[in-house]
Every structure is written in C-alpha cells, then in structure tokens.
Amino acid sequence: MSRILKIKELLTQELTPDLIEIIDNSKQHEKHAGIEVGQKETHLYIKIISKKFKTLNKVESHKLVYGLLNAEFNKGLHALELELSDSN
C-alpha cells in the first residue's frame, strides 16, 4: 500500500473528516538534502476539513496531524504542507 493511501486511511479513521485531499509534491523537492531524484511520497500537501479541529488552534491542529503521522516520518516522509479547518 502506498504511503498516501496509508496516511489517508489513518487520518480518515482518526479525524472522520468531511474532506481529505492529499497531493504528492515530492517532485518539486528533488535534490533537497536526503531526497533522491525520483523519490516519491516524501513531501505531501494535505487538506483536511474536520470537526476535530473545532476546539483546536492552528498549532494544536498541526501537532495533532504530525503526531498521527509520526511513524511515517520515521519511514521516509520528509515534510508536510497542511491546510486544516473545522467544518462549520
């Protein structure tokens, strides 16, 4: 299973989002330190709309997502660009 599918499954299970979108931006970061040409699923854009963020500020929301994805960072995920909001 790809990293994106694993992440989507985990975030869906934990955050029950109204919307989740994940885009692989790894190509834009080739040749960065520790990133090989052609390496995929190292830099991801993730947009999530979830009621779970309603009582959290921006930093707390980001910490929540980073904490959920800690194991993926240990397996080669390098960076996230997050767009997080609560469903109104």
Domain boundary assignment for the chain: 3-85
Report pLDDT digits (tens) over 29-63: 555 555 554 456 788 999 999 999 999 999 999 99
Rounded Cα gap, residues 51 and 32, in angstroms: 35
Please tell me which residue, 74 or 12, carries the higher pLDDT value.
12
Percentage of residues of the chain with pLDDT beyond 70 = 82
pLDDT of residue 25: 85
Please list, in sequence order, all residues whose beta carbon lies within 8 angstroms of the beta carbon of residue 21, skipping any fewer than 6 positions away: 45, 46, 47, 48
List all residues 6 or more positions away from 55 whose beta carbon is below 8 Å from its beta carbon. Answer: none
Confidence at residue 30, expressed as pLDDT on a 0 to 100 scale: 57
pLDDT band, residue 84 (cuts 50/70/90): very high
What per-residue confidence (pLDDT) applies to 87? Answer: 75
- Please, which pLDDT band fits residue 28 given cuts at 50, 70 and 90? low
Alpha-carbon span 84 to 32, nearest angstrom: 26
CATH class of 3-85: alpha beta
